[in-house]
Each structure stands twice: as structure tokens, then as C-alpha cells.
Structure 1
Amino acid sequence: MDSRVLTPRNRGFLFLDSHPAGCRRVVADMWEDCPAAPGLPPEDAGPVALVIGSSAGYGLAATVAGLKRAGIRGIAVSFEKAPTERRTATAGWYRTSATAELARDAGRDLVFLNGDAFSDAMKEQVADLVERRFGGSLDYLVYSVAAPRRTDPGSGTTYSSVLKPIGRADRTRTLVFDDRGAPEVREVETGPAEGDDIEQTVAVMGGADWERWIDRLAVRGLLADGFTTAALSYIGSPLTAAIYRQGTIGAAKAHLEATARTLDERLARTVRGRAVTSVNGAAVTQSSTAIPGIALYTGLLRGVLGEGMVPPVLQLAELWDQFTGATPLALDEEGRIRLDAWEFADGVQAAVAERWDAATTGTVAALADLDWFRAEVQRLYGFSVPGVDYSAAVATDVPWPGRTF
């Protein structure tokens, strides 16, 4: 596969191909949307950061915002598929290529690794790079991994996560589009967690791997004085709580927050450091579209807030500002950074709930911003991006980035 005209082909919210030029433009737009910070450190003196899960969603936003707001250098880890004769690469592959170009143009030494972040082999590779290339001192770690399964390197056991309520079945409404793109509001029922569903999901999406990363870097003596780490998380609305915050994923998020408290005490004692969870606001991501009810909720939220929704890159710009001391570190009573205050501002959830109750196939177009939602889903794969000529053939065999300069 070399160059060809690409058109979106999808099954629901899952697209079969990705558009390289569109993905590149998405990253460029994120860069333009993120305001530059004054007085960034010189190119060879920026803070050394590790972003795990750097190719999509909030992890991508953390990488782009880290470059522009904090002048980071360091390592970005993701797990993406290369192009083949039949298929393009995954969207994250092309976004990573574009992010590497930004890093190179900014003169920041950012190394991009493609592989299993859960494995000890990847942890060793990262530790070796920190030691040999970045002076043996890591300042920041952002953990943003969403995966359906994880193999524990110690036991060899493979765990699988599930999206299920706890205690009883949950019936909710969700948004889908038919083959012609017409919206439909459907009632879906999800059965309750059974057997070891909760334990399996916590093993994948909880704090075990995050803590394992800290363990591996600490034993190598690679954590800088004042080292700070954040795991990116989400709480969400009461409207989706049964399947999310009160469900199996919510149990994993609770474990993540408990891990943050344990790590925070330990890092404060050993390197005068910090560990927190960062609670982000709603966004259209490849992970969120898989959760029942989230698509409908996000479309309705956009209908209420319009341009008042804060995009991920601006949320993560605020996180970097708090990391670097440009703004004070602001924690809630649970010790979490809250980047979702706009989603829970006075009256917002009540307005969304009113629209939720009124949403049907016949009314949803008037209540939710469906044009925005459709475009956001397509943008995840590089389609429906303004300024891209989709009638032109595009090279799909884009290499994984090597050295940035």
C-alpha cells in the first residue's frame, strides 16, 4: 500500500482505516489551540517527562501540551499498528508521527516507543533511555492507558476488563447512527458483573501497572528530586454512573485513586515527590465511545455548553501549569486534580439531565449537537477535518518516528 484515496468505512463508531493527512492536521490543530507558555527552558534543559499512552485521547493531549506549555523532552510510549498492504496504520500511528514532527520543530528531544506498556521489557527500555540519554533523572510521569486486557509480567496471568454495572443490571439509553447516518436513541441493558469481573477489570484498569512503573524507575534510582506523577482519570455524570463510576470501571478508578494516595506518601518520603490522579472532563475519544450512554451524554453536554466545552489539550495545559508551578497545585478533598470543573458548573448537569429525559430518536437532533459529535468521532480517525483534501491520494506507508533531531 503506497498512496490512495481514503474514504471513511466504519462499523458503528469503529473505523477500518485512518487518514494520515487528517491525523496530522488534528495534531497540528491541537498545537495551535494550546497557548505557548512564556519563558520555556532551553531546548536541552527542559524537564524530562514520560507519557505512557501518548497516541490518543488525553495522553496525546498531555504530550502536545507538555511540549508547548512545559518544554518537555523525554519519552512517549504507545501501542499502535503499522500499515499493511490491506489496511492503513492505526490513527495513533499517524498522530505519533505528527507529534514527532512538532517535537523536532520545537527542538525537543522526545523519543517515541511503540510496544506493550504493561510489559517489563518496555519498562526496562524506558529506564535505559532515561539513564543513558536523559541524565538518569525523570521529572514527570503521566499515565494514560486504556486497554481491554493486561498480562501481568510477574505471574503471566492475562486479565480482561469489562464494562458492567455492579449488583444489578443497568438499563440506559445510548446514541447510535444507522447506515445512512441518521441518529437513533436506543435502550440498552447491560447485565451485572459476575464471578471475578470486578477483580479482572481492576487488574487491567486500576493502579497496579502505574505502581509497577514507579517501582521499576525507583529501583534504578531514576526519579528526580520532586518527581511528580499523575494518572489520568474520569468521574463523569450521575446520568452514566451506574455503568461507569459505580460499575466495574469505577471500581478500577477507585483502585487507581487509592494507589495514588499510597504512591504520594511514598514519593514524599523518598524524593520529596507527589502522586495524584487528574480527573478530566468529558470528551469524544476512542475509549469513551465504547461505553453505553456516554455518546448520548456527550452530545447532550455539547448541546448545553457549545463552545464552553473545554478540549482535552487545554485541560492538559492546565495540568502542566500545575505540575511546573505556573499555577498552584489545586486538589479536591480526595487529593485529586480536577480538570472537569466546567462540566459540573452550576446548572450544567441539571440542564443535561433535562435533555436526557426528553431525548428520543425524534427529539435528539434538537437536544444534542449531533453534527459536532459525528465530526468528532470521524476526527478520531483523521476524517472530517477542515482543510484536508479527501479527494486527493495520500501516502499511507508512514514510518514510525526515530530520533526527533
Structure 2
Amino acid sequence: MSERVVKPVGRGFLFLDSHPAGCAKVVRDLAAAVQPVVEPRAPEEAPVALVIGSSSGYGLATTIAGLTAFGVKGVGVAFEKDATARRTATAGWYRTAETAKLADELGRNFTFVNADAFADTTKDEVLDLIAERFGKIDHLIYSVAAPRRTDPRTGETYQSALKTIGSPYTTKSLAYDGAEPQLTEVTVDPATDDDLAQTVKVMGGEDWARWVTALQERDLMSEDFNTVALTYIGSDITGPIYRQGSIGAAKADLEQTALRLTKEGIRAYTSVNGAAVTQASSAIPGIGLYTSLLHKTLGDAMQTPIQQSVSLWNQLTGTPDDLDEDNRIRLDRWELTPDVQAQVHAAWQAVTQDTIADLADHEWFYTEIRRLYGFDVEGINYEAEVEVDVPWPAK
């Protein structure tokens, strides 16, 4: 047992510790926001899902929505760190432990594997589990956000780069001095050809396609199998750094991978999700300010990741009914309507240090950032000691 008081220690949007009870409550809050939308099924009839990147962001929301609303069973894969003598476990570790408890309470046969999704050994371990427990798989959801990747077949490690293409770009960005919002300017340098190639290797479609191939080779796909990789397009406000930058090149490769897999007879899609506060997105200059302006514009009409995940499962378990011309499932139309974007553009142009408190929902954004690590969660006593040595769910 190792109980102690856990406080938020860090700088900017990065915290060194996570609060176990707060992370667990986040999982329960997500589950409570979901209503069952399908008739209860016998366990043997439940869809089998493999979620790669199941511990955070949209991958977590997709896992919880699947368990709660659609009765899925299967395997979730994440790469998290346990507690040490100096630090707590990562937030994703605690969220996974609580998601496993939720699955057990719901009677779902769902297993979590803590391993590097890029490794062939992980693919072997996960596919062995699927073959042993389920026989076939119905859905593969790929939601991986990693800064680097080691290709197990070459041993080479690739590093993603957050850069523009062509020329430098300066953007407004949101920072914090304590809880007070600060409007800053950040200049992002252009990527080299090597930067682009490495970013595509990390965040493009190669590893997703390898998971699909591994399933094919083991004959583990059901007749109704489909797969989706999660992506983002966003506003032209963030476009020069995101969609038209090095990350955008990787997202384009992800989408081309979906089209290639489709030509090979696999029902493969990318799902374009809307803006959200995640550990990955908060590191991108301009995204935090844009997201806080968007929430100020939309309020409760801004669709949450769990709402979008229910919509995604509706389409995966039926027939995708909101595809664009590039065969992408669109869950972001609420964000990109002309009226919404016009309001956000106007706020972006008008925002200054003096007006940021009025134009941006910075308090909401600050709270959402802290909730990623289990802080600022309603109902948690942050003065009380809490157990930080939480075991990974047993297989």
C-alpha cells in the first residue's frame, strides 16, 4: 500500500502526477453520460472490438461508449506507466483500471493489454487473446497518438515533428500563469523532408495497416468486420499548423491507407472527429485558444468525445450514413458549419490579452486540462490521501 496526498505539479499543460480517484471519477462520469441505444444481447452475440489506444482521448471515449451502450467485448491496448517511488502512475493507467472495473460490473468480457502498439510482439499477444477468447473480431478502432515509433522490422526509431510546410507561421496561442490566461504568440518553423517522412512514419497509416494484415493472416476477421482510424481536420484557423502542416501530412497518409484497404476488400474508414481537449491536442500551438473560443461560441452544443463516440458506434454497428466524398465518417459537422466558424473567426481576430477573459472560455479549458490528469473533478477530496499503487487489470 502506498497512500499519499496527490497535488497537481507541473508546468503549462503538462503535469508530472495524476490523481487516481480523479481519473476513476472521470471514467464514471463518461459512462454516466451514455444511455444504452441497442437492445441487450446475449454475451455470445455481443460485437467483438479491438481498440488500439484505449486509455485516453477519443480512444477512451470509444471504449467506454462501446462497453456501456453497445455491449462490446474484446481487447483494449494502451501504453502506460505504473507508479514509482517518486511519481504516480500515468493518468491512462488509472483510467484503464477503472474502465476494467466498469466492464466487469457491466458483465463485459473485455481485456486490457499494456504494451507498445507498434511492436510485432504486441500484435502477436493481442491476436492470441482474440483467437483464444473470441475466435473472430468485428471492429478494429485505431486511435494512437504517440510522439515516436520504433519500427520492429528495421529497428529504426522515428520522431514526429510539429511543424509547418513551406514557411514559418506565427499564431496566437493560449498559456497560463497559474490559472490566469495569457495570450502569447508562437512561431512554428517549417518541416524538412526528413521531418515530414518521420512524422508520417509515426502518425500515418502504416501501423494501422499492419494490424489489419495481422488479423487477415490469422483469419480473425468476421464476415462483418470493419475498421476505423480516428483523425481530425479542424478549422482553417489552425490549418497552417495542423492540417496543412507535418501532422496533416500524416493524417492524409492515414486517409489514403483507408482508401487502399477499401480497394483491397476491407471495410476501412477514417472518422473525422471534432475538436476536444486531449493530452495530444493541448501541445499544439493555437489549438487551446481555438478550442476555448469554440466552446465559448457553442457552450453545451459543443459535442463531447463520448457523444461523438456513440455516433461512431452507431455507424460501425450498422451502415455508415455520414460519409464524405473521401469515404470519411464525419462527426465534426457541428464544428465546421459556416455560422459557427464565422463566430469563432471573429473572436479569434478580436481576442487580446485584455479581452481573452470575455471572448474565450478559458476557465472551462483550464479545468478540462486538469481533468486529463484527474484534478478539478467534482466530488473528489484532494486533501485526502489516496492509494497510488493501483494494479493493471488482470487478463
The verdict on a shared fold, with TM-score over 0.5 as the criterion, is yes
Query: Structure 1: how far apart are the matches of 2:69 and 2:394?
Result: 23
> Do residues 14 (structure 1) and 7 (structure 2) align?
no
CA distance, structure 2, for counterparts of residue 44 and residue 223 of structure 1: 16
Alignment correspondent of 2:232: 234
1:154 correspondence with 2:153? yes
Uncovered stretches (5+) of structure 1, i.e. residues with no partner: none
Residues 232 and 272 in structure 2, CA contact (< 8 A), matched pair in contact too? yes
Aligned pairs for 1:290-305 (under 5 A) are 290-305=283-298
Residue-by-residue CA offset, 1:267-293 (whole Å, 9 max, x unaligned): x3xxxx410000000000000000010
Work out whether 1:199 is the aligned partner of 2:197.
yes
Which residue identity does 2:5 align to in structure 1?
V
- TM superposition shift of 1:328: 4.8
The 8 Å contact of residues 38 and 70 in structure 2, kept in 1 or not, is answered as no
- Aligned residue for 2:129? 129
Looking at structure 2, the residues matched to 316 and 183 of structure 1 have their Cα atoms a distance apart, in angstroms, of: 30
Q: CA deviation at 1:181?
A: 2.2
Amino acid at match of 2:371: R
Offset from partner CA, 1:52-87 (integer Å, 9 cap, x none): 000000000010011122211010000000011110
Query: Does residue 255 of structure 2 align to residue 289 of structure 1?
Result: no
State whether residues 234 and 336 of structure 2, in contact with CA within 8 Å, keep that contact through their aligned partners in structure 1: no
Q: What does residue 224 of structure 1 align with?
A: 222
| TM-score, with structure 1 as normaliser | 0.96
Distance 1:183 1:17 in 2: 22
Of 326, 330, 339 in structure 2, the residue corresponding to residue 338 of structure 1 is 330
The aligned counterpart of 2:311 is: 318
SS at match of 2:182: strand
1:208 aligns with 2:206: yes
Amino acid at match of 1:236: G
Q: Distance in 2 between matches of 1:81 and 1:278?
A: 28
How far, CA to CA, are the matches of 1:329 and 1:120 in structure 2?
34
* Alignment correspondent of 1:390: 382
TM-score normalised according to structure 2 size: 0.98
How far apart are the structure 1 equivalents of 2:83 and 2:45? 35
Q: Deviations 1:199-246 (Å, cap 9, x if unpaired)? A: 000000000000010111111111111210000000011000000000
The answer to whether structure 1 residue 358 and structure 2 residue 350 are counterparts is yes
Ranges in structure 2 where 5+ consecutive residues have no aligned partner: none
Paired letter, 1:335: N
Q: What amino acid is the match of 1:201?
A: T
C-alpha separation in 1, matches of 2:187 and 2:315: 41
Q: What amino acid is aligned across from residue 249 of structure 1 in structure 2?
A: I
Read off the aligned partner of 2:170 and give its amino acid letter: R
Aligned length: 395
User: Which residue of structure 1 lines up, in the alignment, with residue 97 of structure 2?
Assistant: 97
Distance in 2 between residues matched to 1:36 and 1:342, nearest whole Å: 23
Contact 1:82/1:88 (8 A) holds in 2: yes
Give yes or no for contact 2:172–2:185 (8 Å, CA) kept in 1. yes
> Helix, strand or coil for the counterpart of 2:237?
helix
Deviation at 1:332, TM superposition (A): 0.7
Deviations 1:157-200 (A, max 9, x none): 1111000000000110100001x322111111111012411000
| Structure 1 counterpart of 2:141, one-letter code | V
Q: Residues of 2 paired with 1:348 and 1:107: CA distance?
A: 41
SS in 2 for 1:153: coil
* 1:35-58: CA deviation from partner (whole Å, max 9, x where unpaired): 112313222331111000000000
**Structure 1 residues 347-401: Cα deviation after superposition (integer angstroms, max 9, x where no partner):** 1011001000111111111001111111100000000001111111111110000
Q: What is the SS of the residue equivalent to 2:240?
A: coil
2:142 counterpart of 1:143: yes
Q: Which is worse superposed, 327-336 or 26-35?
A: 327-336
SS of alignment partner, residue 347 of structure 1: helix
Alignment match, 1:247: 245
Alignment of 1:265 onto 2:284: no
* CA RMSD across the alignment: 1.0
Query: Deviation string for 1:257-276 (max 9, x for gaps)?
Result: 0000011121x3xxxx4100
Q: Identity of counterpart residues, as a percentage?
A: 56
C-alpha contact (below 8 Å) 2:271/2:330 kept by paired residues: yes
* Distance across 2 between alignment mates of 1:155 and 1:9: 38
Is residue 73 of structure 2 the alignment partner of residue 73 of structure 1?
Answer: yes
Q: State the SS of the aligned residue for 1:217.
A: helix
Tell me if structure 2 keeps the 8 A contact 1:37–1:68. no
Contact 1:163 1:243 in 2 (8 A): yes
- Is the 2:237–2:345 contact (alpha carbons within 8 Å) kept by the matching residues of 1? yes
Preserved contact between residue 164 and residue 193 of structure 1 (Cα < 8 Å):
yes
Give the secondary-structure state (helix, strand or coil) at the position aligned to 1:337: strand
Cα deviation for residue 93 of structure 1 reads 0.2
User: Which residue is equivalent to 1:29?
Assistant: 29
